[in-house]
Amino acid sequence: MSEKIRVLLDEETVEKRICEVAAQISEAYKGKEIHMICVLKGGVFFMCELAKRITVPVTLDFMSVSSYGDDTKSSGVVKIVKDLDQPLEDKEVLVVEDIIDSGRTLSYLLDVLKRRNPNSVKLCTLLDKPDRRVVEGVDVDYCCFNIPDEFVVGYGLDYAQKYRNLPYIGVVEFE
């Protein structure tokens, strides 16, 4: 089966919106330091673009979790592939994700992170598919775009590990 990519959100639209959300976060965290946690691999492009535009001090750490493998459907089982390097005690944690879909990944991750005694935990995502949620309790604090129920790629998002480097968000159309 081959696939085609249809542009959903072009590069300029995505960058403009990331600037707006970065300004909103900078205002909300005035006088504080943000400990950003990038959820690999998908979150890496968004985190770089976002972090560059935040005006309060930022520290970074990375966690790798996986549930989709090479499929367009979640396996339903979330695995920690790489854990954080640093403790979260007393930190203002901002989790940075590329997409919240079923919510399984974030529900699992937020649970794990909150047990490490941070001062606060907030969630920032590039994309949200609210219609697809199957678990409750994933509260999104900052979201760039709500999108419809379509499988998307680009800006870190993959289909079978491909297309992460597209500078825009596209919908995968199977032919």
Ligand X SMILES: O=P(O)(O)OC[C@H]1O[C@H](OP(=O)(O)OP(=O)(O)O)[C@H](O)[C@@H]1O
Sequence-distant (≥ 6) Cβ neighbours of residue 111 within 8 angstroms: none
Position with the least CB separation from ligand X: 42
149 as an active site residue: the answer is: no
Sign of CA dihedral 15, 21, 24, 27: negative
Residue among 29 and 151 whose Cβ is closer to ligand X:
151
Report the residue from 35, 91, 104, 122 that binds ligand X according to the rule CB under 6 A. Answer: 104
Catalytic residue among 61, 98, 101, 128: 101
Distance CA 174, CA 147 (A): 19
**By CB under 6 A, residue 39 contacts ligand X:** yes
152 binds, among ligand X, Mg ion, ligand HPA, none (CB under 5 to 8 A by kind): ligand HPA
Residue 100 lies near ligand X (rule: CB under 6 A): yes
Contacting residues toward ligand HPA, per CB under 6 A: 68, 99, 101, 151-153, 157-158
Residue 49 contacts which entry, ligand X, Mg ion, ligand HPA, none (Cβ below 5-8 A, type-dependent): none
SS3 for 31-83, per residue?
CCCEEEEEEECCCHHHHHHHHHCCCCCEEEEEEEEECCCCCCCCCCCCEEEEC
Residue of closest CB approach to ligand HPA? 101
Q: How many CB atoms lie within 10 A of CB 168?
A: 17
Contact 155, 98 (CB under 8 A): yes
Tell me the window of 3-11, 91-99, 110-118, 167-175 that interacts with ligand X (CB under 6 A).
91-99
Q: Which residues bind ligand X (CB under 6 A)?
A: 39, 41-42, 66-68, 74, 97-105, 158
Point out the residues that are catalytic: 101
